[in-house]
Structures are given as structure tokens and as C-alpha cells.
Structure 1
Amino acid sequence: MSKTLVEKIWDAHVVKSETGFPDILYIDTHLIHEVTSPQAFDGLRKRGLPVFRPQQTVATADHNVPTIDQLLPIKEELSRYQVDMLTKNCAEFGIELYGLGHPFQGIVHVIGPELGITLPGKTMVCGDSHTSTHGAFGAIAFGIGTSQVEQVFATQCLLQQKPKTMKIEVNGTLGKGVSAKDIILYIISKISAAGGTGYFIEYAGSAIEALSMEARMTICNMSIEMGARGGLIAPDQITFDYIKGREFAPASAEWDKSLAYWKTLYSDADAKFDSVLTFKAEDIAPMITYGTNPGMGMGIRENIPSTSSQPDKEQLSYQKALDYMGFDDDSSLIGKPVDYVFIGSCTNSRIEDLREVAEFVKGKQKAENVTVWIVPGSKQVEQQAKNEGLDQIFEQAGFQLREPGCSACLGMNEDKIPAGKYCVSTSNRNFEGRQGPDARTLLVSPLTAAAAAVTGKITDIREMLTKA
């Protein structure tokens, strides 16, 4: 019987399935961090339970950590408490921890792939919605709640309804200055922030296949922003080349065995999807959001859609979003002054992102009105950036290269955007208050962010690339 890639991986991990009930799904790898794990550990203690398979759990500190002076005691009380509790819990329950100061520490969705922990055909979960990032490797990866974190601790399984499947094809060749971040923002703008609800999405097509692994991670990372359960891309030679030789990747005979299995991980030619959408790469421009959900996006040279063009039942919330952002119907964002530029998050903080920004800003200076934070996704990314001299390029341009963490992606740690200020951000969410109380977020690609940093305003990166 023909199957989609999701069905192949899902069915291989079902421990038990009965009509009318959720499947019992086995979880290969459980990723945890300091924010959503403490209550789950307490639940185990109250029930007198161990972590069932601690060797399949990996921990790091990332969400609520400072990104300056990480080797010093943490000043912020809640952050210090959460990191201390993670250290204590991992020691008590026998879990590997890559804490602050460890060479493998970083954002959980960055370190999994770079360490060779994320592999094709796996099921992976984490108490974080952007776990879908790992789907770039041809894995079923999704976020879970704290009670489910406890379930996985105790049983290495979850009760899960089998999701519907959607295929999104992007064919053709991307234009100059257009990247993976623009692809996913474009898709979400077309199908809305709820367009993928109930689905697990497989991304395919020539434009997807041409992407690097880091670009594919950006695509899968934001699957959740269209309401999807997760997203994945079939593994290929680009995937295999990325994995080979990484710290915890299979090696020698085990590599050959794994590779043979990985090469079976694709949707059969006649597999049936519940929904299929197709887009042309040539239609995608550099994107920017103008509202308070990732579906409120547009090509950077377009005008903000009018409130009257929205469905009647959505007009009130739409106008509320524009009021929050301080924008008007039918207006352009080109030339709009900005206050902060944030380049980081589990969406765009990998070495390729930093290289792209450094190449563009080399020999340039940031605008005086802008504060620029560059936050690498991991200690390994940070070290690689320094090895390549990217830190010197950033410093000379007036950009601040900080230490790894989720940083200004979310208003949880010390890196907050002040109220009323505009932040051009490579992160994944532009909700009200996401980057700090009353902060205003515009989601873009790393290149578009770099252009805003240099010019001090919203700028079409294509103009600057043409001049160069």
C-alpha cells in the first residue's frame, strides 16, 4: 500500500493502535529545556517514577538565559532559578545536560541538528512549539505540553491522534535576495496563520530540494505558524552529507545501515495526501510582516491590505492589529524607520545566516538610530563565527554579537524590545508583546534585517544587492 513519508514514519513508531482511540506513539528523542521541564520532573517525584529512558533525553538551557556574560552568575532571579533547577533535575534523573558554559550549549532546535542527534526517520518531541524544525531531516518532530513532557519521561511514549497530511510544493528558482525565510512567510501569507491546522506538512518541489539543510530547517521551523502539527522534508544527499561525521551521528557499519534505511524515507509516487498546494518560486519577493500574526505578511514593496478587504468577521481584529503596530490601510512600509534589528532565534541563528549577514554588511556601518543584536544559535555557531572572523565584521559594522540563547525572540529573558519600538526580526512570531510588552515586531529574512540595520529603515534588499 502506498504511503506518504509521514505515514511511513508514524506507522513504524506506533506501539498500539485501536479504532476510536489515539495511537500510542513511541518517541525516539526527547529534547528538554529549563522552562517547560520543572513541573514534569516534579510530577515524576510525586509519583515516585524515574525517567524511563534517560539516554534518549537531551537537555540544554536556552529560553530564559542571558546572552551577555554567561560565565558569571545569572542576575535575573527567575532565569537563575530555572537554570539551577534544570541542572539539579538532570543530575537527579541521569539526563545529559548542555548547560551554560558547555561547548554544546545552545538553542535546543539548533544543537540537535548540529550534533547529529536529529536524524531521518525519528520521532522527536520537545516542550516547545518550534520542534517542527527537526522535520527538515525527514523526521516527525512536534512540540508538546508540560503534561506530555512528563508522559514521555515516564513511558517514552505519547497518546497521539494520527494527523492529516498536506503536501506543499514550491517549484522554480528563487529571485535575488529571496531566501527560505521568504518562502515560508509567503506560504503563510497565502494560506493564513490557521491554514495548516490539523495537518502534518511535507514540503517538496524543485525550490525546496535546492535548499541547504539550514534553509530547510527555517522552512520547517515555521510550520507551526500556519497552525500545522509539524512539517518535514524528505531526506536526500544534501541531508546525508550534512549529517555525516557529526558528534553523535552513526559511523562506520552503523552509518551504512542507517543510510540504507534513510533512503527509503520518501512519499510513494502514488501516495494520497489530504491536501496539496503548489506555489511558484518566481512569485516570491523578500517578505515582511505588518501585523500581529505571521499570516499578516506581504512582499516588501506591496502596500498593507485594507481593513475593508478582510472578511467581515475578521475586520475588528485586523484593525486592532494595525492599530497596535501603528500602521494604516493601503500604506507602504518602505522607508519606515526602525529602532532594533534582531538576528537570531531557532529560525535564523545558524552559521549560514551569520555568514550571509556578514558578507552583506562587510565594510558597511549600522545606522545611528538602530540597535543591532546578533545572537548565535549555539556555542558551536558562536565559535565558528569567530573562527571565520565574522565577529570582527560585526564589530566594525556596529553590530553586537552576543552569546547563544533564544534572546529577543520572546519577551522571557533580559533581551526585550522597549515598548512602542519597532524591531525588524528574523524570529518566528510577531504576536503582541512577543518581544517585550508593547514591542512591535516585523518578521523578515536575515538579509532584509541586515538591510534595515544598515539603512535604519525598511529597505528592499534587492536594491542594495543591485547597487553592489
Structure 2
Amino acid sequence: MSKGTLFDKVWDSHTVGTLLQGQTQLFIGLHLIHEVTSPQAFAMLRDRNLKVLFPSRTVATVDHIVPTENQARPFVDTLAEEMMQALEQNCQENNITFYNIGCGNQGIVHVIAPEQGLTQPGMTIACGDSHTSTHGAFGAIAFGIGTSQVRDVLASQTLAMNKLKVRKIEVNGTLKPGVYAKDVILHIIRTLGVKGGVGYAYEFAGSTFEQMNMEERMTVCNMSIEGGARCGYINPDQVTYQYLKGRDFAPKDADWDKAVAWWESNRSDADAEYDDVVTFDAGEIPPTVTWGITPGQGIGVNQAVPTPDELPAGDRTLAQEAYRYMDLAPGQPIQGTKVDVCFIGSCTNGRISDLREAAKIAQGHHVAEGIKAFVVPGSERVKKQAEAEGLDKIFTEAGFEWREAGCSMCLAMNSDKLEGRQISASSSNRNFKGRQGSSSGRTLLMSPAMVAAAALKGEVFDVRELL
């Protein structure tokens, strides 16, 4: 029985049936694939002599392993080249649309689907990548899935899933200058914890999200998974529809009005029932930086690394591990922490508005001596648009490297890696041990504008002082 939330409405409308063990067999409207989690899935299909059931509902791109400097084929990395060839062959054999390097539409899977209008309200979306929750910004319910589930969707266009509870996270008010969508989601995860969302879908609501553009909303939903939620979404509204109208795969002409009516019908009802409701005041959210080894270990840029007695008892063991790994002392101010590498990009913050905000900070300044700073557009379209606006010149004149589209140093399955104990100011989404390519490398998560500020100063710096 629907509780009147968007999650329940979309879930119910995509339910094929209930399996014997009680799971829902859920129809998946859009399946996104890339080179990392799909080769094994296609191999499993071949082993079972199965075909892709609905090739037109699957779209592929290459993002994780692509080099962002020299993209000449074959790639220098032989494993990356093998993965690339496997994806090319699998898409060709199964008649799947593939956005390859140089076609003008290649990029990070969670950037290209929204910018082309593939992602739409009321959809179910799956991808073999944990940050598929990004697409919930459009009022879709979108799940990251494992390789065996990629196989299942290719073969049946369905997933077996247990239904989630729904937590409403309401943020109201206007963000202060220097505070961005990235700070909002880091603040939420810091407060609720990295396991706080386990078993939940997060519905982000309130005036703060209503004021955000679609790219800011994508940043928030992207990191729902980092708070333990299986998906996160925002109800579609006029901001959503204006973003989608005219895009490649958006409905046209008379179909547009029908689509908007359908999208509106999926919005959560005013009297919808939630399993939990949490509220935040936007005015209290500061520019936020992670200090530890999970996205939940974050603090305001003007705050100090928490001492054990400031933390809940259950968080102290992990904090001790984080102090040692990060070489940060309890009570130490985070501002002034020296950095070596500054990375702007990823499926969290590699869109055009992210690059614009970072460019505002970089313009007229220069990267500090000894700092490696680089900018990686989230897609070929983003790169082209940024260059048309002259953002690439602003960055290069300020001493940043300007790269080709890809996931880059977010998880470093390519040539963009930290070395040794280097510490990175990163606009990506995870600060786990070894996440950015070095088993001992360290990551500080922050907004793109904060990364730009860190690059200019050579240390964690309050971006508000540069605005």
C-alpha cells in the first residue's frame, strides 16, 4: 500500500511481482553500464546462453579507466585497454548504445545520462556503480548494483530487491556565501552518520533544495550512498522540467505535456507518511571539510579535529584509526593543513556549475608553489561548454592542469593517482584509505570552490575569505 511518497509511487508502478522469498521483482527503466562492472556480467550471460532482453534500455560509456591526459589507443595501461575492448565488443554484439571517447557524448556515467535527458522523473534506474543515487535528483529512484545484478538487469530488465523505508531530510533556509551543495550533504552525513541511512531511501525536501539548481541537487543525491542510504531523491518541480526540456532524450511536443503531468503525479503527497523525519537549518551549515577516513568524519573549516571525548563512544575507535592514518592530532585546527594535490572533478562535482564556481576563486590568482592542481570535466560536453566560456583559460593561467573527461583521481583506476603519503584536497566523494590510488595517500573532501582555495594557498583555507 502506497504511503504517498514518490519512492512508494515509483516502486509500486514498477513492481512486476513478489518473489517467493518476499523480495519485489522491480522493473528497471534505464540501465547504465561502464567498463568496470559489465565485462563479468556479459560473460555470465554468454555462459548461460542468454541475450540482453531490452538493449534499447541500456546505455554504455567509458569513464573509470580512461586516462585524462593521453587518450591515444591502445592505452598505455594494458588492463585498461582490455576493459575498453571488452566494452566495445559487448556493446557491438548486443546492439547497445555506447558513448566512446571522442564521440562528443562520452563522460562519467552519472554526468552524461542527466545532460542528455536520459534521466527523467518517475523512473527506476540501475548502474553497476555506487553513486547511481545521483539520478534521484530528478525524482527517479536509482540504485547502485553489483556485477551479478548487472547480469540480471541485462537478462531480465528487473531486479530482486527488498523495499526500503523512507526518511525525509528537510533543510530550510538560504545557504550563506561560500557554502555549497557539497557542504550540505557532508553536513548531513556528519550528523546522521555513514550508517544512518542503512535500510532507507532519503527524500531531500525543504526550501534549501527547492532553491538549488539541478546540478547542485545531483551533488546532494550523489552522496546519499555515503550516508548509508540505498538511494536519495528530490521531488521533481519546475526546476527539473526546465532543465530537461529540449534535451536529446526528453519528450517532445505533445508528449512533453503528457510527461510533465505524469512526473507531477509521482511527487510525494502533502500528507505522505514517512518512517522518519529529520530537519536542518541551512544557515547553520559551514564550509565543510573531512578530516578522517569516512565521509562522516567532517567538520566546519573553522573548527578543530574533534577530540575523543567530543565524540560518541561508538565513534572513538574509528577516530583513533583516523588520527593515526591522517597524521592529524585531536584538537588541531583543520584550516592550515598542508596539501600536495588538488583535484576538481568526479561524478559529485565535475559539472559545469562546479567548474564555474571553482574558476571564480582561481581567476586572477595562481596555484601555490609545489602544488599539483588539476581540473577534470565530467563529460566531453562539459569540457566543450567550459572551453566556450573560457574557464579552461582561467584555470591554466592560474596554474591548474586542464584535462579530458573521466573519473580521474576520484578512485584512481587510471593514471591519476596520489603518490606515497601525499594529501589531497578533493571534490570527489570518498576519503577511504587508499581511495585515490596510493595505499597510504590521504584525502580531504570539500567543495570545488574550497579545493580551488586550497590550491591557491597550499593548505586548507576558508573560501569565504576569497569571495
For the criterion TM > 0.5, the same-fold answer is yes
Tell me the distance in 1 between the aligned counterparts of 2:3 and 2:45: 41
Could you report, residue by residue, the CA deviation over 1:134-184 in whole angstroms, capped at 9, with x for unpaired residues? Answer: 000000001000000000000000111110100000001100100000000
Which residue in 2 is equivalent to 1:341?
A: 342
1:169 aligns with 2:170: yes
Q: Match of 2:372, as an amino acid?
A: T
Which residue in 2 is equivalent to 1:327?
A: 328
Which residue in 2 is equivalent to 1:445?
A: 447
Which residue in 1 is equivalent to 2:461?
A: 459
Tell me the distance in 1 between the aligned counterparts of 2:195 and 2:18: 28
Which residue in 1 is equivalent to 2:83?
A: 82
Compute the displacement of 1:73 (Å): 2.6
Could you report, residue by residue, the CA deviation over 1:348-407 in whole angstroms, capped at 9, with x for unpaired residues? Answer: 000011111112211111111211110000000001111111111111001011001110
Which residue in 1 is equivalent to 2:228?
A: 227
Does the 8 Å CA contact 2:361/2:466 hold for their aligned counterparts? no
User: Partner of 1:347: helix, strand, or coil?
Assistant: helix
Please show how residues 36-47 of structure 1 align to structure 2 within 5 Å. Answer: 36-47=37-48
Does the 8 Å CA contact 2:132/2:222 hold for their aligned counterparts? yes
Tell me the distance in 2 between the aligned counterparts of 1:288 and 1:264: 38
Does the 8 Å CA contact 1:132/1:232 hold for their aligned counterparts? yes
Tell me the distance in 2 between the aligned counterparts of 1:128 and 1:313: 29
Which residue in 2 is equivalent to 1:31?
A: 32
Compute the displacement of 1:313 (Å): 4.4
Tell me the distance in 2 between the aligned counterparts of 1:324 and 1:155: 44
User: Partner of 1:196: helix, strand, or coil?
Assistant: coil
Does the 8 Å CA contact 2:19/2:25 hold for their aligned counterparts? no
Which residue in 2 is equivalent to 1:193?
A: 194
Could you report, residue by residue, the CA deviation over 1:18-58 in whole angstroms, capped at 9, with x for unpaired residues? Answer: 68510110000000000000010001101111100000000
1:429 aligns with 2:430: yes
User: Partner of 1:165: helix, strand, or coil?
Assistant: strand
Does the 8 Å CA contact 1:178/1:285 hold for their aligned counterparts? yes
Which residue in 1 is equivalent to 2:351?
A: 350
Q: Match of 2:120, as an amino acid?
A: L
Q: Match of 2:84, as an amino acid?
A: V
Compute the displacement of 1:317 (Å): 2.4
Please show how residues 244-323 of structure 1 align to structure 2 within 5 Å. Answer: 244-323=245-324
User: Partner of 1:346: helix, strand, or coil?
Assistant: helix
Q: Match of 1:460, as an amino acid?
A: D
Could you report, residue by residue, the CA deviation over 1:398-417 in whole angstroms, capped at 9, with x for unpaired residues? Answer: 10110011100003211001
Does the 8 Å CA contact 1:350/1:377 hold for their aligned counterparts? yes
Tell me the distance in 2 between the aligned counterparts of 1:217 and 1:295: 19
Tell me the distance in 2 between the aligned counterparts of 1:126 and 1:94: 18
Q: Which moved more, 1:376-385 or 1:308-317?
A: 308-317
Which residue in 2 is equivalent to 1:125?
A: 126
TM-score calculated relative to the size of structure 1: 0.98
Does the 8 Å CA contact 2:372/2:400 hold for their aligned counterparts? yes
Compute the displacement of 1:463 (Å): 1.5
- Residues 51 and 20 from structure 1, CA distance in 2 versus in 1: closer, same or farther, beyond 3 angstroms? closer
Q: Which moved more, 1:307-316 or 1:65-74?
A: 307-316
1:411 aligns with 2:404: no
Tell me the distance in 1 between the aligned counterparts of 2:445 and 2:429: 7
Compute the displacement of 1:196 (Å): 0.8
Compute the displacement of 1:130 (Å): 0.1
User: Partner of 1:189: helix, strand, or coil?
Assistant: helix
Structure 2: stretches of 5+ with no match in the other structure: none
Could you report, residue by residue, the CA deviation over 1:326-369 in whole angstroms, capped at 9, with x for unpaired residues? Answer: 10001101112111100000000000111111122111111112
Tell me the distance in 2 between the aligned counterparts of 1:401 and 1:71: 17
Q: Which moved more, 1:359-368 or 1:341-350?
A: 359-368
Structure 1: stretches of 5+ with no match in the other structure: none
TM-score calculated relative to the size of structure 2: 0.98
CA RMSD of aligned residues (A): 1.1
Does the 8 Å CA contact 1:14/1:24 hold for their aligned counterparts? yes
Compute the displacement of 1:308 (Å): 3.1
Q: Which moved more, 1:352-361 or 1:109-118?
A: 352-361
